[in-house]
Amino acid sequence: AVMDLFGDLRRMNKRQLYYQVLNFAMIVSSALMIWKGLIVITGSESPIVVVLSGSMEPAFHRGDLLFLTNFHDDPIRAGEIVVFKVEGRDIPIVHRVIKIHEKENGNIKFLTKGDNNEVDDRGLYKEGQNWLEKKDVVGRARGFLPYVGMVTIIMNDYPKFKYALLAVMGAYVLLKRES
């Protein structure tokens, strides 16, 4: 009878472990679905970004979380804060539009600058590029949460912290018992 009990326990633990693994997979896939949904709703390939530098202070600080939209019918205007990608740089840049050139046919070229920077962004653009175009824009800032993104910055600056955090979260999900 004692051996039967151990067999039951072992079977139950295996079942419990599978259940927790499936639970974890469900959480991950739900997060991905929400992210894809946001991409569709906002029209931006990254609807949420973290400000990584102090170039936009005092408007935005390092660690602020920005919410972006990128609707193509919306004209870009001077004074607007855009997030753009430049060839040869992986990380998008969050800066303000300071000048606009609009052609008869509706094509727009514009120049950006960080509020806290002395000079415009021409030094950041790829060589020979003096203006940005709509295709360079990832999104436009529509709202923000202050400092919520600090976790992301800490994880980038200290990779060991990232792995420790992931290990703790993984262990919690796998070991958590259903009450």
Respond yes or no: is residue 55 known to be catalytic.
Answer: yes
H or E segment to which residue 174 belongs = helix 159-175
Respond yes or no: is residue 30 known to be catalytic.
Answer: no
Residue with tokens 């796998």, as numbered in its chain: 174
Say which of 44, 64, 95, 136 is annotated catalytic. Answer: 95
Residue 82, C-beta contacts closer than 8 angstroms, at least 6 positions apart:
76, 94, 95, 96, 97, 112, 132, 137, 139, 140, 141
Say which of 44, 55, 64, 136 is annotated catalytic. Answer: 55
Say which of 44, 64, 121, 136 is annotated catalytic. Answer: 121
Alpha carbon distance 108, 42 (integer Å): 21
136: left (phi over 0), alpha (psi -120 to 50) or beta: alpha
Alpha carbon distance 50, 60 (integer Å): 10
Respond yes or no: is residue 72 known to be catalytic.
Answer: no
Sheet of 48-50: strand order equals 48-50, 65-69, 137-145, 81-84, 93-102, 108-113, 132-133
Alpha carbon distance 29, 52 (integer Å): 27
Catalytic residues: 55, 95, 121
